[in-house]
Structures are given as structure tokens and as C-alpha cells.
Amino acid sequence: MSESSLVMQIVIAVMILTGSLLLGLLFERVILSRLKAIADRTRWEYDEIIIGALRGRMTRWFIIAGFYSALEIITLPYEILNILNSILLVVFILSVTCAVSNIAVGLVNIYAKKASAVFSSTSIFSNLTIISVFILGAIILMQSLGISITPILTALGVGGLAVALALQDTLTNFFAGLHLLVAGPVKPGDYVKLDSGEEGYIVDITWRSTSIRALLDNMIIVPNSQMASCKIINFSLPGKEVLIQVPVGISYCSDLTKVEKITVQVAQDVMHNVAGGICGYQPLIRFYKFGDFSLQFNVLLRAHEFADQYLIRHEFIKKLQQRYRAEGIEIPYPIQTVHLQKEKPCNHKIDDTNMRSQ
């Protein structure tokens, strides 16, 4: 082949690559941008996920197509051409697999939001989706390269038992995590308390452990196997609303009808004006005990969720103490009354008759 012919082929190949790059940028800047604007105006959420997965990848696909076309123009030895085509194929399939993985994860997350009562959006499902897509992509890639997957599957079947034995704890946590998500005793966002004493909001359930964020912003990491076997109090089931019980004690000299009326007024004010309180809830008062130094009763309030009870309890105690002081209602201190009695001398009379009889 003459030198001028080779130069011409290289020039044409460069022009093809340049044209592919320009077409990719044009598609990204014009077509995808307009599709994104249309998608933002629709209520269908899936189109945004698809466009987001394609953004940034269309230019690469156009460049890969340009390289493939350029290789058809340039005269190269068959072995080199075959290697370059295989590299382009590998890059293209990996890029498409990543795009499909992003779309699949997005679809899973959308479905999880719509069916949050029975399906939780957690990293374990996202990771399973990614792994499944990449396994499918690897199978397609090996088939495209002419690699037989039958020996690989045979080797995996033989070594599966050894891997399962070696990863016994990991697999136990993995299936325990699936059990937690499918059975639905807990899900991300629930406030739970374990029988070991740890409590907080569930942040995520991964393939190995469950992350719990305590109210002090500490992260508690619990293995899934332990979560599946321990006793759990879920304060978010059957609903997130929480009943708050505040114990109060008053003096025995107090007018109970007046105390009940004033306490209800304070509780209603707290329910309406403190964040987290339920405005439509009617507070309750229940006397339950004649204490050692006071008449004791419980005030029942209600909060939207578990963490709201602390502010509600705080404000209620402040307002109640202030109102009781204004109304002259006494909250007695713990006291103990001791009555002292003088010991009277005992007069032991001796019966002479009995003495003589003895």
C-alpha cells in the first residue's frame, strides 16, 4: 500500500472520529437537553432516570462507533484489527451495563417509594440489582467474545459448597437481612429498641448489618443475624404516632376537679403550639394512686413520632409548673412524717395466789 493511500486513510479516520465526537456532543447538548426539559414537565418519573443514565454516555458511544468505523477504513493486519475490535466491544458492553445498572437501581428505588409499606429502599436491594445486571453483562460479554461459559458454571458449581462454608457467617447475615426486609418487622425510618438496650432510627439494612442512628447521632451497627433473632420493640408500628405518659403528683389538699381542668387546658395548649404535637388529640388524665406524700396521676399526650416526645414533655412540664404556681396548686416535695410516742412503763403485778400455787 502506498504512503499517500495510508495518509488518506488516516485523514478519513480522523475526520470520522471528529464527526463522531461532534455528533455525540450535539446529541448531548440538544436532544438530551430537550428530552430532559420535557421529562421535567411530566409526572412520569421513569423518563428522568433513563435520561440521567444516558447523559454523559452517549458521547462515548458515538466515539466508540467512530473508532469502529475508522478501523474499517484503515488497512491493518487481521490480528491487530481483531484485538482492537474486541477492546471496543468490551468497552461498549461495560458502558451499556453501567447505564442499565443505573436505570435498574433507579426503577427499584421508585418502586420502593411507591410500595414503602411492603418494600424498603435499602442498599441490599440496590446491590443485588447491580450485581445481577453486571452478571448478565459479563455473560453477554463472554458470549460476544466467543468464550464458553459452561466450564465456568461447572467450576462455580463445584466450588460453591466450599465458598458457602467459608462465608457461612456472611451468608447468614445476608439471608437474615433479606428476611428482615421481606417479613417487614422493621424498615428504614423506624424507631426501634432492641432487647439488649440499643435504640434509635434504622438508617439502612445492608447485606451484612443494620445501621441504627441513636438520638445522640451515634451509629449502632448490628449484624443482621442478631437483628433477626432478638426481640425488637418497633415504635413506628402500626403507626409512627407515639403516646406520651407524664406522671404528676399533687397535694392531698388540692381540688381534683380544678386540677383536672387546668391540667387539660395546659396539655391542649402544648398539643396545639409545640412542634410534634397532634392538634386534634384530646389529652387524658387518669388518677391512679394515693402516694406516700401526693395524689398521683398520669397525663396522656400524643406525638407525631418518637423523637417529638422529648420537646413535648419538656414544654408541658414547664407550662404545667408555671400554671400550678399561678393557681395555687401545690406539687409537694417527697416527705415522710414520723410520729414519736413515749413508751409507758409496764406495771407487773405479782399475783401472790399464783405464786403460792406454783
181 and 295 in one domain? no
Q: Tell me, what's the pLDDT at 226?
A: 86
Whether residue 124 sits in one domain with residue 66: yes
Pairwise CA distance, residues 206 & 211, whole Å: 8
Per the structure, the count of domains in the chain is 3
- The answer to whether the beta carbons of residues 302 and 277 sit under 8 Å apart is yes
Question: 190 and 65: one domain?
Answer: no
Task: Please check whether residues 8 and 35 belong to one and the same domain.
Answer: yes
Q: Specify if 104 maps to a domain.
A: yes
- Grid coordinates representing 333? 416535695
Same domain membership, residue 323 and residue 299: yes
Q: Model's pTM, two decimal places? A: 0.59
pLDDT at 358: 42
Residue 180: which domain range?
A: 170-234
Q: In whole angstroms, what is the distance from residue 89 CA to residue 219 CA?
A: 44
- Kindly state whether residues 255 and 223 are assigned to the same domain: no
**CATH number of the domain enclosing 271:** 3.30.70.100
Helix axes 168-183, 123-144, angle to 10 degrees: 120
pLDDT score of 107: 81
Q: Please tell me the total number of residues recorded for the chain in this structure.
A: 358
pLDDT in tens, the chain (358 residues): 566 677 777 778 788 888 888 888 888 888 887 877 777 777 777 777 788 888 878 888 888 888 888 877 777 777 888 888 888 888 888 888 988 888 888 887 777 666 655 455 567 777 788 888 888 888 888 888 777 777 766 766 656 666 666 667 777 877 787 777 777 788 888 899 998 888 899 888 887 888 899 988 889 999 888 888 888 888 888 888 889 999 999 998 899 999 999 999 999 999 999 998 998 889 999 999 998 888 999 999 999 988 899 999 999 999 999 999 999 998 888 766 676 776 665 555 545 444 444 4
Q: Find how far residue 25's CA is from the centre of its chain.
A: 38
Q: Is residue 155 part of a domain?
A: no
Q: How many beta carbons lie within 10 A of that of residue 175, not counting itself? A: 14
Query: 215, 234, 253 — which closes off a domain?
Result: 234
Beta carbons within 8 Å of 165's beta carbon, 6+ residues apart:
none
Q: What pLDDT, on a 0 to 100 scale, did the predictor assign at position 347? A: 55
Element spanning 23, H or E: helix 3-26
Q: Are residues 84 and 189 in the same domain?
A: no
